[in-house]
Amino acid sequence: MFTENRTLSIGILEIDQEHQALDNLVAKLERMVVSQSSKKDLQTAFQDVHKAMLSHFKTEENIFGPKIDELVKNHKVEHAWFLAEMKFLDAHMDHDYDVWRDKFFNLANKLTRHIIKFDMEIAHD
């Protein structure tokens, strides 16, 4: 719906495809969280996001090489933040659902910002 105003494409096919796949999985999980799907289904969808994120960050770290390590830009540091947060969410699915839900939506929003702020920028460096 909003893609005419702004695209998340960074112009590198492999990364764009992975972003699209990751975004689809996150959007699916978001819809499941909102509709309060069963815990088992949520867990499965969560693991799909987690796996896609892990392999996507590896792809980026391979493609972008040492540029991604520049501490001043914090790109790799933010990847590490996402993975730590996913680990936390994974370990806390049994805890307070509202807290979990807020943390997950925060992560989903941050992922979109990450693509714009870090992935797009490094691709145009």
Q: Which is nearer to Fe ion, 30 or 78 (CB)?
A: 78
Q: What is 3-70 written as a DSSP string? A: TTT-----S-HHHHHHHHHHHHHHHHHHHHHHTT--HHHHHHHHHHHHHHHHHHHHHHHHHHGGGGG-
Question: How far apart are the C-alpha atoms of 94 and 92, rounded to whole Å?
Answer: 5
Amino acid at site 5:
N
Q: Which two tokens stand for residue 59?
A: 């792809």
CB of 98 to Fe ion, least distance (A): 28
Q: Which one of the spans 44-52, 55-63, 82-90, 105-113 is the region binding Fe ion (CB under 5 A)?
A: 55-63
Contact pick of 119, 120, 121, 125 for Fe ion (by CB under 5 A): 119
Cβ 67 to Fe ion, closest distance in Å? 11
Smallest gap from Cβ 64 to Fe ion, in A, equals 8
Question: Looking at beta carbons only, is 46 or 118 nearer to Fe ion?
Answer: 118
Q: Sign of torsion, CA 60 65 69 70?
A: negative
Binding mask 7-46 for Fe ion (x = CB under 5 A): ----------------------------------------
Footprint on this chain of Fe ion (rule: CB under 5 A): 60, 118-119
